A = this chain, B = another copy of it.
Amino acid sequence: MARGVTAAQGFRAAGVPAGISAKPGKLDLALVVNDGPRFAAAGVLTRNKVKAAPVLWTEQVLTAGRLRAVVLNSGGANACTGPEGFQATHSTAERVAELLGCGAVEVAVCSTGLIGEQLPLPNVLSGVDKAAGELAATADGGSAVATAIMTTDTVSKQDAVTDPAGWTVGGTTKGAGMIAPSMATMLSVITTDAVLEQPALDAALHEAVRLSFDRLDIDGSMSTNDTVLLLSSGASGVEADPAEFTTALTRVCQDLAARMQADAEGVTKRITVRVTGAASEDDAVVVARTIARDSLVKTAIFGSDPNWGRIAAAAGYADAAVEPETLDVTINGVLLCRGAVVAGDRAAADLSGKDVLVEVGLGLGDGTAEIRTTDLSHAYVEENSAYSS
C-alpha cells in the first residue's frame, strides 16, 4: 500500500531528473496532481520575513483555498532571486496549468536548496513536461515525489493513515537541517480523499502542524522556503468527522516530523525534551525549546555526558515562569536535580544509547510540551560548513 501523496484516492504524482540539482541524474522535480472531484486545499508557510519566490506565489494562490496541483523542486531555493526568480515560479505554475488544463492560480510551487541562485528555467519547464507525462496514482508515483524533494536528507520520508470509515490521509516531507519553529527548510505535501470543507481542512492543518513540525527544532534556524500543503480530493466519497480527521492528520505529521528528527544533519542522538508543570502550555514550549536549542546542552549529549547543570541553566534563562525551588531535571529516567539542587549521581544516567529523554518539571501548573531535537555533533559542523561551496 502506498504511504505518501498517492496513498489517498484521486491523486497522481511523478518525480523526475530535470537537471536542476548539481548531482547528475538526481530526481529533482516533482508534480502532485489532484484529480478531484473536490479541490479544497490549505497551507502553512514560513513566517520568515525574507520569503522565497515560490512562498510568495503559494501564499497568493492559497487565498482561494483551492489547488489542482503542486510542483516542487530541489536543487535551488529560488530565494533572494528578485523579479527574475518570481517570474520563474510564475512560468513554472503556468506550464503546469497548461498541461493540466487549469488556471495557474490553482498550482502551488515549492522549492528547496541554496539561497540566492536563479533556477535553470528551461530545465525546470522541460522537467514539468516530463513529470506530467509520467504521472501515476501508484506507490511509485508517490515515492518518486518523496525522493525528488530530498536535499541533504539521506532517506525519503512518507507516511499514511487510513480511517476505518474509509478515507485516507498520507504525505511526504523533506528537511534535515535549518529546522526550527515554523518548520524551517522543510517542504511537505499531504493529501487526503476525505470529504471536508476548506475551513475544516485549514483548521486541521494548523492544529496538526502546531503539534508536530512546530515541535521539532534542530538548530533554531527558520528558512525562507518552509511550506506544508494539504490537498483534498474527496475521492473516497466519505465525509470525515473534523476531530477524527485532525487526529489522523496530526499522527501523519508527527510521524513525518519524527522521520525528519531521525535523519537530521549530523545526528547521533535523538533528544526529546519534555517539560511538565509549566504555568501554561506556551511556557512549556518556550522552556523546552530553549533547552533544545542550547548549544552546551546539545554538545554535552553528543558527548553522552548527563550534564544536567546546563539543562537547569537553560531553563533558568528561558523567557517563561521558572522557579528554582520547584525545578527538577531527570535524564533517561534518573532524577539528577530537585528544586535546582543536585539530587543524584550523574553517572547513574546512561546516555550511551541513541535516544535521550530530558524531563524538566517546573512545579508551577499544568502546562506540558515536548520538543524533539538532536545533538550538536562533529558531523553537523562538517555538513553545514561545506554545504554551498
Q: How far is the CB of A213 from chain B (nearest CB, A)?
A: 15
- The answer for the CA separation of A382 and B380 in the assembled complex, in Å, is 12
Interface size counted on chain A using CB atoms at 8 A: 71
Cβ–Cβ < 8 Å partners of A307 in chain B: 115, 387-389
Check: A18 CB closer than 8 A to any chain B CB: no
Cβ–Cβ < 8 Å partners of A305 in chain B: 385-389
Q: Is the CB of A48 within 8 A of B300?
A: no
Q: How far is the CB of A142 from chain B (nearest CB, A)?
A: 30
Q: Is the CB of B310 within 8 A of A115?
A: yes
Check: A50 CB closer than 8 A to any chain B CB: yes
Choose among A116, A307, A388 the residue with the greatest number of B CB atoms under 10 Å from its CB.
A116
Q: Is the CB of A317 within 8 A of B48?
A: yes
Q: Is the CB of A385 within 8 A of B309?
A: no
Which among B220, B324, B388 is the interface contact of A294 at CB below 8 angstroms? B220
- The answer for the CA separation of A377 and B385 in the assembled complex, in Å, is 9
Q: Is the CB of A385 within 8 A of B50?
A: no
Complex interface bits, A81-117 against B, C-beta within 8 A gives 1, otherwise 0: 1100100000000000000000000000000001111
Check: A314 CB closer than 8 A to any chain B CB: yes
Cβ–Cβ < 8 Å partners of A324 in chain B: 49-51
Cβ–Cβ < 8 Å partners of A77 in chain B: 309
Q: Is the CB of B81 within 8 A of A316?
A: no
Q: Is the CB of A116 within 8 A of B388?
A: no
A47 nearest CB neighbor, chain B only: B317
Check: A299 CB closer than 8 A to any chain B CB: yes
A77 nearest CB neighbor, chain B only: B309
Given contacts A48-B313, A222-B317, contact A385 B299 (CB under 8 A): yes
Q: How far is the CB of A306 from chain B (nearest CB, A)?
A: 8
B-contacting 9-mer, from A132-140, A143-151, A255-263, A340-348: A340-348
Which among B177, B308, B378 is the interface contact of A296 at CB below 8 angstroms? B177
Q: Is the CB of A299 within 8 A of B80?
A: no
Check: A252 CB closer than 8 A to any chain B CB: no
Cβ–Cβ < 8 Å partners of A119 in chain B: none
Which among B51, B322, B386 is the interface contact of A50 at CB below 8 angstroms? B322
Q: How far is the CB of A280 from chain B (nearest CB, A)?
A: 16
Check: A363 CB closer than 8 A to any chain B CB: no
Check: A126 CB closer than 8 A to any chain B CB: no
Check: A224 CB closer than 8 A to any chain B CB: yes
Choose among A48, A178, A336 the residue with the greatest number of B CB atoms under 10 Å from its CB.
A48
Cβ–Cβ < 8 Å partners of A295 in chain B: 219-221, 295, 376, 380, 384
Q: How far is the CB of A54 from chain B (nearest CB, A)?
A: 15
| 7 nearest A-B residue pairs (beta carbon) | A115-B309, A303-B385, A50-B316, A82-B341, A299-B384, A222-B317, A48-B316
| Besides A116-B346, A177-B296, A299-B380, 15 new A-B residue pairs in contact (Cβ under 8 A), listed by A number | A48-B313, A49-B316, A50-B312, A51-B324, A79-B309, A80-B337, A115-B313, A180-B317, A222-B313, A299-B384, A300-B384, A305-B385, A346-B388, A378-B382, A380-B381
Which chain A residues have a beta carbon within 8 Å of chain B's beta carbons?
47-51, 77, 79-82, 85, 114-118, 177-178, 180, 182, 184, 219-224, 293-296, 299-300, 302-303, 305-310, 312-317, 322-324, 327, 336-337, 339-342, 346-347, 376-378, 380-382, 384-389
